[in-house]
Structure 1
Amino acid sequence: MAITDVPAFAHLTNPDIECLAVELDAIRLDIEESRGGRDAHYIRRTIAAQRGLEVAGRVLLTVSSHRSAWWAGTATLGVAKIIENMEIGHNVMHGQWDWMNDPEIHSSTWEWDMSAVSKHWQLTHNVMHHKYTNILGIDDDVGYGVLRVTRDQRWSPLHLGNLFVNAVLAVGFEWGIGLQSLELEKFFKGQSNRKIALVQIREFLIKAGRQVFKDYVAFPALTSLSPAATYNSTFSANAIANVIRNVWANAVIFCGHFPDGAEKFAETDMADEHRGQWYLRQLLGAANFNAGPALRLMSGNLCYQIEHHLYPDLPSNRLHEIAIRVNEICDKYDLPYTTGSFLMQYAKTWRTIAKLSLPDKYLRATPDDAPETRSERMFGQLGPDSADDPASAAHRQGLKTAIRAVRQWERRPRTRRWPRCLR
């Protein structure tokens, strides 16, 4: 089940956690003091490149009737939409570039190229998700209200469709994000402020209407004036480009919170949580994947989801160097640094979604020690000294050592129990 005591699960003392916070705060201070022209050049160059890609894609869809040009234009437009949403829009709206005081590249003014309203998403994501990461009952990103991704979510027959629901969610991910912020279930149950909810619904309908008009009316009509293009060809190209963006964004985001090792937390754990415990929860609740420069750009640097959750408002282009130091800190405090290849992390999310479509009675692992759901109760069989490892006696013994001890305990030879008559 979900973790109810983060320090106990992490096997760290309060002084350990305070020291952890000091070291992580030092990283923030170093980056804040060193950001400047190089970082500003990066984001401006990225925005220019993204806009160039979008123009190139639309030109290809307009000037050539060859099927290869249509596919090239569609793919280029899809990449442009990915970069705009992932590396630019998402990070700008986190306030990563507010220090530049550029009114165009600012969290208060940026409106991204998708159906979700920026200010709605900022409340749902920046506040509810990042502050209360993976806390059941508060963070709606745990399953997005439609998927079962932890055993703490009570199983129902509807979860038999977990795989199908996730496939649909991936294809229409921008609409899922847009609707998530509206909390329509609370609205229809009368649990939300009706006046505020109606304003938000109206704002969403206006934004979504503009997106639909732009992609499926205006641009197809404009390109149909060219003898080399038709309304339908541009309409379908825009639809496919949006699906490419949606599926990719869904994959990247799911790799950040649903692979093995990305922990879930009980709401009771929020009581009196101080900064060090918040840092620790972010370290435990997120997962990375390995990436080179191209994949870093295409993922919006969310290949460093752990670092992004520790420092959501620091420039994304600095997460690569931050990750080196965070990894060293995890080693120092004997904490897992959850990462793996992109394909492996994504496969694990689908495995979890498939597995949890079934009732718990069909699952082999215990609710407190499953790949997707662990808690401090997984260490119940260990004695006070059972995590001792002579090979690491000179180092702090934390969560990694404790997990290793549990695995060794599980693999221990079992004593054969003979029938009483043969004893």
Structure 2
Amino acid sequence: MTTTHERPHRSSTTAPGGLTPDQVEQLGRELDAIRQDVLDSRGERDAAYIRRVVKAQRLLELGSRAALLRSRRPAAWVLGTAGLAIAKILDNMEIGHNVLHGQWDWMRDPKIHSTTWEWDHVSPAAQWKRTHNVTHHTYTNIVGMDNDLGYGIMRVDEAQEWKPRYLVQPAWNFVTACIFEYGIAMFDLDLGDHIRDKRNMTPEKKAEVKVTLAKAARQLTKDFVLYPALSGRGWRNTLAANATANLVRNLWSHSVIMCGHFPEGVQTFEQAELDIDESRGHWYLRQMLGSANISGSPALHLMTGNLSHQIEHHIFPDLPSNRYAEIAPRVREVFEKYGLAYNARPMVRQVASAWHKVVRLSLPNGWLAETDRRNLVPQLKKLAARPA
């Protein structure tokens, strides 16, 4: 696989990964065949799967909320907090993310449909679908077009000019992880210059801001007013439990998403490198080179919303998530056939790799590898003193 150090060059004869145009189109046909096999075979077992997960998540949340009514007892607090954190992760990852992708729309069940589903998240479903399903999945890992790549606030590629402000990138990334759902909501609003010039904010943008603020108010009221109040004298314990569950959910979600698009070895792209009218084969290839998987147990796949199969998800974002593990070996065979590296590591290694990249790109190109650890602090002070 071409790394971000080795900028791919699109010519009339080669594509990213060194493939010829004929190879790219053949690759597209092979992946189309895998997709069609799933479409032809999806049915009751898939529907039963998502209904089981939804039911289990709701029962887990209900049981955890009930336990937290007695949150003054340490055992009840630990049990309720852990259960609530897991329930929130399931709601956002395996259920919300995938339902809002339309993976289950074929069931024609109004209770599990992308047009009716609302999740336990600050970002309203409609706004998230626009920025994630359309923008991110269309322009995956294209610098300047896909703001999911660093969420528009980080240096994500060596080709980006280094500036002293990037020195705080690791700290900013950690803060973002802790408040991830709010960061996503702000990102989904795509305020841009509107923040600097509120007078020119369009009526449509003002309406979007109001919807998001209303959703945030409901979320805050639910977790930090209503449920604590129901706990009576234990309200402080319940409030702390809800805050802890939200923090765990945010840190987990952020880690999973970083593993999918930011580890070392995942390729990014410049707009000038890509054809204006990208073929389906080229789009497939970009998803393959711009994604990474997490290897692990079925429980880990469930808790990641099957985004541990990020490669399969980005190739086939509308297929039922429970099928990604099933088709992963076939997708891997396609990688191997065309000499492409299938980026898959255990979660600890992928998280470490992603954080290494965050730190590395916060410094000038090549600086991290060349600088002796003993000189780290004085070198950082010198870099910080440079004019922006």
Verify the 8 A CA contact 2:16 2:285 in the aligned structure 1. Answer: no
Equivalent residue number for residue 293 of structure 2: 288
SS of equivalent residue, structure 1 residue 340: strand
CA deviation after TM superposition for structure 1 residue 26, in Å: 0.4
Equivalent residue number for residue 265 of structure 2: 261
1:358 aligns with 2:363: yes
1:215 aligns with 2:223: yes
* CA offsets 1:19-72 (integer angstroms, 9 cap, x no match): 101110001110001000000000000000001110111111113532122011
SS of equivalent residue, structure 1 residue 289: strand
Equivalent residue number for residue 373 of structure 1: none
Give the Cα separation in 2 of the matches to 1:158 and 1:293.
41
Unmatched segments (≥5 aa) in structure 1? 366-423
- Equivalent residues in 2 for 1:124-163 (5 A)? 124-163=131-170
- Equivalent residues in 2 for 1:17-32 (5 A)? 17-32=24-39
- Equivalent residues in 2 for 1:43-58 (5 A)? 43-58=50-65
Give the Cα separation in 2 of the matches to 1:91 and 1:317.
10
1:251 aligns with 2:255: yes
Equivalent residue number for residue 276 of structure 1: 281
Equivalent position to 2:127, from 110, 120, 129: 120
Verify the 8 A CA contact 1:21 1:275 in the aligned structure 2. Answer: yes
CA deviation after TM superposition for structure 1 residue 188, in Å: 2.9
CA deviation after TM superposition for structure 1 residue 4, in Å: 4.5
Deviates more, 1:268-277 or 1:1-10: 1-10
Equivalent position to 1:302, from 296, 300, 307: 307
Equivalent residue number for residue 340 of structure 2: 335
1:199 aligns with 2:204: no
Q: How many residues align?
A: 361
Q: Aligned letter for 2:101?
A: H
Give the Cα separation in 1 of the matches to 2:170 and 2:77.
31
Q: Aligned letter for 1:238?
A: N
Q: Aligned letter for 1:312?
A: P
SS of equivalent residue, structure 1 residue 108: coil
Equivalent residue number for residue 383 of structure 2: none
SS of equivalent residue, structure 1 residue 63: coil
- TM-score normalised over the length of structure 1: 0.83
More helix by share: 2
- TM-score normalised over the length of structure 2: 0.90
- Equivalent residues in 2 for 1:374-393 (5 A)? none
Unmatched segments (≥5 aa) in structure 2? 371-388
Give the Cα separation in 2 of the matches to 1:76 and 1:302.
21
* CA offsets 1:208-264 (integer angstroms, 9 cap, x no match): 11101111111111122xxxx511111111011000000000000000001122100
CA deviation after TM superposition for structure 1 residue 363, in Å: 4.5
CA deviation after TM superposition for structure 1 residue 299, in Å: 0.3
Give the Cα separation in 1 of the matches to 2:338 and 2:179.
41
Deviates more, 1:301-310 or 1:65-74: 65-74
Equivalent residue number for residue 83 of structure 1: 90
Give the Cα separation in 2 of the matches to 1:289 and 1:44.
25
Give the Cα separation in 1 of the matches to 2:333 and 2:130.
32
Give the Cα separation in 1 of the matches to 2:120 and 2:369.
43
Deviates more, 1:262-271 or 1:335-344: 262-271
Equivalent position to 2:108, from 101, 115, 134: 101
Larger radius of gyration: 1
CA deviation after TM superposition for structure 1 residue 193, in Å: 6.0
1:319 aligns with 2:327: no
CA deviation after TM superposition for structure 1 residue 186, in Å: 2.6
Verify the 8 A CA contact 1:4 1:266 in the aligned structure 2. Answer: no
SS of equivalent residue, structure 1 residue 273: coil
Verify the 8 A CA contact 1:4 1:265 in the aligned structure 2. Answer: no
Evaluate the alpha carbon distance shift between residue 270 and residue 116 of structure 1 in structure 2; reply closer, same or farther with a 3 A threshold: farther
